[in-house]
Amino acid sequence: MARVIFDTDRCKGCGLCVTACPKKIVHINNDVVNAIGYNPAEVTEMDKCIGCAMCATMCPDCVIEVRR
């Protein structure tokens, strides 16, 4: 199973990774505020991840790492 790792405290909550994910499993977590004051992105159903790395490719700040 692929694993998606976020450097959460560097996320700006722009949502580009959310739109990029073909499985629609990346979401902005509005219950969390990170170190730089944004609601960060997270993967909610990791078991559905296909490891395509579209989320990581889209992130302008290289916050996401995908391990297959």
List residues binding ligand SF4 (CB under 6 A): 2, 4, 6, 11-17, 20-21, 23, 25-26, 41, 43, 49-55, 58-59, 61, 63-64, 66
The nearer residue to ligand SF4, 25 or 32, going by C-beta atoms, is 25
Region for 15 from its dihedrals, namely left if φ exceeds 0, alpha if ψ lies in -120 to 50, beta otherwise: left
- Entry field: residues in the chain: 68
Q: What is residue 59's three-state secondary structure?
A: coil
Give the distance, in angstroms, between the CA of residue 45 and the centroid of all CA atoms in the same chain.
12
Nearer to ligand SF4, 31 or 63 (CB): 63
At closest approach, how far in Å is the CB of 11 from ligand SF4? 3
